Amino acid sequence: MASERSRKADRIRHVMETEGDSVERNARGFNEGRYESVARLEDYDAYKDRARAIKEDAIERLPELIEQVREAVEANGGTVYVADDAADANRYVRELARERAAETVVKSKSMTTEEIDLNEHLEAEDCEVWETDLGEFVLQVADEAPSHLVAPAIHQSREEIAALFNEYFEPEEELETAEELTAFAREYLGERIEDADIGVTGANFVTADTGTMALVTSEGNARKTVAVPDTHVAVAGVEKVIPTFEDLQPFVELIARSGTGQDITSYVSLFSPPVSTPPVDFDDDEPIADDPAERDFHLVLLDNGRMDMRDDDQLRETLYCIRCSACANSCANFQSVGGHVFGGETYSGGIATGWEAGVHGQESADEFNDLCTGCSRCVNQCPVKIDIPWINTVVRDRRNRGAEGGELDFLVEGLTPDEEPAGLDLQKRFFGNFSTLAKLGSATAPVSNWVADTLPSRALMERVIGVDRRRDLPEFERETFVEWFRNRDEPRPVDADYHAVVYPDLYTNYIRTDRGKAAVRTLEALGVAVEVPDVASSGRAPLSQGMIATAEDHARDVAADLESHLEAGYDVVVIEPSDLAMFRGEYERLLDADRYEALAERSYEVFEYVYGLLENGADPAPLRGVDAGGVGADIAYHSHCQQRTLELEAYTTDVLDRLGYDVLTSDVECCGMAGSFGYKSEYYELSMDVGDRLREQFESPDAADRTVVASGTSCLEQLDGLLARRPRHPISLVAPDESE
């Protein structure tokens, strides 16, 4: 295990060094473009809802729609072939090439043909195959696989492409600028297009009622690929079919914005082939003439596991994906390593786990599935609202369950009160059972802290479970938050208007008890009657490791522990954003509907709750503003990923504003920690690379002198590792002093 981890760490480090800069620059550029472009779109959310509804409906009625496409295309004079799998699709296209004695095939960009390795199969038929999309062309020359769904050569810089072309093509004058490289490729590929016997494209969408394919492109190569040769083959997954022509509209508004941050691409081609443009024979001297009989069109609709995905309640949503790449671009880890690490045989980025598991088998998602930290930043970015982290969790769980029994299981026996199979990776089992460890660590603190931090135990932890020794361990408090509350002797507010449970999450209860105490003092100062009962941990830790059954157990315990309080009219105030995200999000999948709703509707993030109290007339006077000493007025605030996804960041900044703080917020996607991720030796360096973006921002002249504040536990741990300044939880700024 240890050697496998270090091999993985080496590979990640290598890719970060060789491809990281280009990927980061480009993916972040797309991402920032997306924020700007969707902000310009009126009714963005309504479009997302419509797009989602269209895809849900289409996948539901898919068999019927496929038949409708067949009728429409055949009525136009084309042919439809539904291919069961890659071999079937390749055989069909090969036979076409053989029938036509095709020597040259030109292609426009298509991930679906990458999925089935069509080029290799055509080359086996003695066809020359040329990728005409410039990004794909670069990869073809470099003999590399795409590293991004939309911009396949995103990992290559201009300098690298120039060196590649100069070496491969040996042009008379060395190519250098992007203009020169583009002009060269245009001319070179233009000749191939002129010679082509067959043009192959993908399809972004296929409409069932008119048999129209939509191709979303900017270069113009897809149009030439369709127009010039007399034979056109389109290869598309069956999931690309949508019911009507008008259904294209929301996707046209969303797809480019979501992908590269353009309002629209240069070309949205809508072809109902065979197209009415006359084919061009460049060997001919006569005027180009219309001869419809020469046009031949084949639509190959690929199943290759998709119909099984449709029957799979957890993977079905993957089929709603429009391959825009927003999930990849918004993913902090992807921004550092790109699709060559964060991807499988064909697909890359967040949604790749679903695709790879569906079309190539679950094991093809193994290598990269753990790179999804579940931070949820991609969730709101997806134009069809796919819960991508959940798909990643499900696949992780299925992989865990397929694991064979290991040799070292005895080491963690007793530490693993979980529902998982014997062979589950020890590291996952360790982090997934963090609640047990925290209980034990706290009971034996401070000795446990001291022992854990000795060199031999750090070495052992690194070797056996892969906890990186460069990462500081959390220190357990001897007195838990729950015990502190039980033991303290404070008068409770009488006749309070509000009653609230402060949820003692794992970290607040055992490690960062101060923030729990601060939350209690804050709420009491605002007149809330507070309780801190002993409540089970949320299950976030096992869920992150793909231990869904264990997480489900935790969820049921939490619901049972809180039931009497909820019935008595208490609200639940949650300090840890990742736990609130569980209550409002994943619990819907883990609990029955009544229990989920009861908890989700009454749970609040601590600043959301404070904000609500102030809005409802609570007097903020007892809270500490900037004049109270200790902390300056200038704050640099990093909100937690899930807090941002739930759109809760503004409550914290608003309350801090009201109390006179000047708040500057970070805008990077993530701090790079996301719970256990940054502790794992194979991911430590990646975690720090992601964190570096936040460090740079908080060390910039605007922020360098500000007090650093963060809401999430993992963010605080990461900031602690990144910055010389010690970060704090914002509740510690506003809570009244202990003595008062």
Q: Exactly one of 290, 479, 534, 667 binds other proteins (CB under 8 A); which one?
A: 290
- Closest C-alpha among 350, 347, 348, 352 to residue 332: 350
- Closest C-alpha among 427, 433, 412 to residue 506: 433
The CA distances from residue 548 to 46, 100, 453, 679, in Å, are 32, 53, 31, 21
- Does 628 interact with other proteins (rule: CB under 8 A)? no
Q: How are strands ordered across the β-sheet holding 79-83?
A: 79-83, 296-302, 231-237, 198-201, 104-107, 128-131
- Does 280 interact with other proteins (rule: CB under 8 A)? yes
* For other proteins, the closer CB: 213 or 610: 213
530 within 8 A of 523, measured Cβ to Cβ: yes
Q: At closest approach, how far in Å is the CB of 210 from other proteins?
A: 5
- Does 268 interact with other proteins (rule: CB under 8 A)? yes
Q: At closest approach, how far in Å is the CB of 195 from other proteins?
A: 12
Region binding other proteins by CB under 8 A among candidate stretches 87-95, 243-251, 434-442, 705-713: 243-251
* For other proteins, the closer CB: 256 or 590: 256
- Does 21 interact with other proteins (rule: CB under 8 A)? no
- Does 263 interact with other proteins (rule: CB under 8 A)? yes
* For other proteins, the closer CB: 277 or 362: 277
- Does 464 interact with other proteins (rule: CB under 8 A)? no
Q: At closest approach, how far in Å is the CB of 289 from other proteins?
A: 8
Q: Which positions from 406 through 435 interact with other proteins, judged by CB under 8 A?
A: none
* For other proteins, the closer CB: 81 or 245: 245
Tell the burial category of 295 from Cβ atoms under 10 Å away from its Cβ (0-12, 13-18, 19+). buried
Region binding other proteins by CB under 8 A among candidate stretches 275-283, 381-389, 409-417, 625-633: 275-283
* For other proteins, the closer CB: 176 or 557: 176
Q: Exactly one of 157, 362, 665, 697 binds other proteins (CB under 8 A); which one?
A: 157
Binding mask 514-553 for other proteins (x = CB under 8 A): ----------------------------------------
- Does 299 interact with other proteins (rule: CB under 8 A)? no
- Does 288 interact with other proteins (rule: CB under 8 A)? yes
DSSP 511: T
- Does 272 interact with other proteins (rule: CB under 8 A)? yes
Q: Which positions from 181 through 210 interact with other proteins, judged by CB under 8 A?
A: 181-182, 185-186, 189-190, 193-194, 209-210
Give how many residues touch other proteins by CB under 8 A.
70
Q: Exactly one of 45, 46, 174, 292 binds other proteins (CB under 8 A); which one?
A: 292
Greatest distance between any 2 Cα atoms in the chain:
99
Give the list of residues 6+ apart from residue 261 with CB closer than 8 angstroms, or none: 29, 30, 31, 32, 33, 34, 35, 36, 37
Residue 572 φ/ψ, nearest 5 degrees: -115, 120
- Does 173 interact with other proteins (rule: CB under 8 A)? no
Give the C-alpha separation, 217 to 132, whole Å. Answer: 12
- Closest C-alpha among 638, 642, 641, 658 to residue 707: 638
Region binding other proteins by CB under 8 A among candidate stretches 266-274, 311-319, 438-446, 729-737: 266-274
* For other proteins, the closer CB: 269 or 333: 269
446 prior amide bond cis, ω within 30: yes
- Does 707 interact with other proteins (rule: CB under 8 A)? no
Q: Which positions from 73 through 132 interact with other proteins, judged by CB under 8 A?
A: 76, 132
Give the C-alpha separation, 697 to 682, whole Å. Answer: 26
Kindly write down the DSSP assignment for every residue of 302-335, as one continuous string: E-TTHHHHHH-TTTGGGGG-----HHHHT-HHHH
Q: How far apart are the first and last CA of the chain?
A: 53
Q: At closest approach, how far in Å is the CB of 540 from other proteins?
A: 39
Give the C-alpha separation, 276 to 288, whole Å. Answer: 13
- Does 270 interact with other proteins (rule: CB under 8 A)? yes
Which residues, in sequence order, are bridge partners of residue 343?
348
H or E element that contains 234: strand 231-237
Give the list of residues 6+ apart from residue 100 with CB closer than 8 angstroms, or none: 197, 198, 231
468 within 8 A of 673, measured Cβ to Cβ: no
- Does 555 interact with other proteins (rule: CB under 8 A)? no
∠ CA 551-554-559, nearest 5°, is 130
Region binding other proteins by CB under 8 A among candidate stretches 285-293, 313-321, 367-375, 532-540: 285-293
* For other proteins, the closer CB: 268 or 709: 268
What's the residue count for the chain? 740
Q: At closest approach, how far in Å is the CB of 290 from other proteins?
A: 4
* For other proteins, the closer CB: 277 or 380: 277
* For other proteins, the closer CB: 270 or 598: 270
Give the C-alpha separation, 455 to 472, whole Å. Answer: 12
Q: Exactly one of 111, 145, 252, 626 binds other proteins (CB under 8 A); which one?
A: 252
- Does 159 interact with other proteins (rule: CB under 8 A)? yes
Residue 419 structure tokens: 């529902």
Which residues, in sequence order, are bridge partners of residue 635?
663, 707
- Does 335 interact with other proteins (rule: CB under 8 A)? no
* For other proteins, the closer CB: 177 or 616: 177
Region binding other proteins by CB under 8 A among candidate stretches 158-166, 417-425, 592-600, 644-652: 158-166
Q: At closest approach, how far in Å is the CB of 138 from other proteins?
A: 7
Q: Exactly one of 117, 192, 278, 312 binds other proteins (CB under 8 A); which one?
A: 278
> What is residue 284's three-state secondary structure?
coil
- Closest C-alpha among 622, 631, 651 to residue 711: 651
Which residues, in sequence order, are bridge partners of residue 665?
637
Work out the number of other CB atoms within 10 angstroms of the CB of residue 363. 12
- Closest C-alpha among 55, 75, 440, 412 to residue 255: 55
Q: At closest approach, how far in Å is the CB of 343 from other proteins?
A: 18
> What is residue 620's three-state secondary structure?
coil
Q: Exactly one of 286, 413, 627, 738 binds other proteins (CB under 8 A); which one?
A: 286
Q: At closest approach, how far in Å is the CB of 447 from other proteins?
A: 57
* For other proteins, the closer CB: 374 or 383: 383
Q: Which positions from 210 through 239 interact with other proteins, judged by CB under 8 A?
A: 210-212, 218-221, 223-224, 227
* For other proteins, the closer CB: 287 or 629: 287
Give the list of residues 6+ apart from residue 585 with CB closer than 8 angstroms, or none: 376
Work out the number of other CB atoms within 10 angstroms of the CB of residue 311. 8
Amino acid present at 112: T
Residue 709 structure tokens: 């504040």
729 Cα distance to chain centroid: 26
Site residues (vs other proteins, CB under 8 A) = 26, 76, 132-135, 138, 151, 153, 156-159, 161, 177-179, 181-182, 185-186, 189-190, 193-194, 209-212, 218-221, 223-224, 227, 244-246, 248-249, 252-253, 260, 263-273, 275-278, 280-288, 290, 292
